[in-house]
Amino acid sequence: MSTFITMGESILKLKDVAVFQAENLVLNDISLEIKKGEFVYLIGKTGSGKSSFMKMLYGDLPLKQGDGTIVDFDLKTLRERDIPYLRRKLGVVFQDFKLLPDRNINNNLLFVLKATGWKDKSKMDAKIEEVLGKVDMKTKGFKFPHELSGGEQQRIAIARALLNDPELILADEPTGNLDPQTSVEVMKVLQDINKTGRTILMATHDYALILKYPSKTLKCDGNKVFEVIQRAV
Ligand SMILES: Nc1ncnc2c1ncn2[C@@H]1O[C@H](COP(=O)(O)OP(=O)(O)OP(=O)(O)O)[C@@H](O)[C@H]1O
């Protein structure tokens, strides 16, 4: 549990955190907080450390320096065996969707449910229908990933991220492979999910989306992460 006195609503809290890739320092002196229900952008140019920051949050890079809690997990004392439990409270969405190409959408989602401990077939079927409904893809469960457009695949990836009712969704350039119109559609899905109370941290290069859907914005620059006001973006 947290070494901080957490104010009930905190979903992510970092204090004096540094992020390393192997022995290389990527980010330093990060102190920030994200509260339940916020929609937060993470911007910064290529190589500034956005993906490394995300990886540290979902336990792919260890927290070696500073203190951090995320969805009530202490990142500093996180052990290898805790990571699956942390991931169940997070929904992670990637730029390249990462759907399994050898099975249809229903079976992609079933695979994740089984891997995260679900057993009851009728409950799993109901959950799959529920998450596909949330991204408006209820009729596509029998399609294979290659039979879907990029935007549809990303909707499925978002549905997959919702399977375990995560408290926080980490989206690493979710619109990076999509055309502007499809990006807006995927963004609307994320906005709707945010409106139901879920917290979202989204790394993006897409300034048009930020202008269209302004929200709190963090920037990676010069080994630091800091909040920027929209005009300064
Ligand atoms: N596996 C790795 N091993 C060593 N260094 C790495 C590794 N991955 C990334 N880095 C380095 O860490 C720094 C930050 O990379 P990162 O991928 O986090 O940036 P980014 O802001 O996400 O970039 P992009 O927008 O291109 O995805 C870069 O200098 C990069 O070379």
SS3 116: coil
* C-alpha to C-alpha distances, 76 to 10, 130, 140, 166, 213, nearest whole angstrom: 17, 35, 41, 21, 34
Ligand 1 pocket by Cβ (under 6 Å): 21-22, 24, 26, 44, 46-52, 220
Do the beta carbons of residue 108 and residue 99 sit within 8 Å? yes
Report pTM.
Answer: 0.91
SS3 110: helix
Residue 225 has pLDDT above 90, yes or no: yes
Residue 87 has pLDDT above 50, yes or no: yes
Q: Which of 19, 20, 23, 26 to mutate to test the pocket of ligand 1 (most atoms within 8 A of CB)?
A: 26
Q: Which of 45, 48, 94, 221 to mutate to test the pocket of ligand 1 (most atoms within 8 A of CB)?
A: 48
* Index of the ligand 1 atom closest to the CA of residue 51: 22
SS3 35: strand
ipTM of the complex: 0.93
DSSP secondary structure letters along 150-206? HHHHHHHHHHHHHTT--SEEEEESTTTTS-HHHHHHHHHHHHHHHHTT-EEEEE---
**pLDDT tens digits, 122-171:** 999 999 999 999 999 999 999 999 999 999 999 999 999 999 999 999 99
Q: How far is the CA of 52 from the centre of ligand 1 (A)?
A: 6
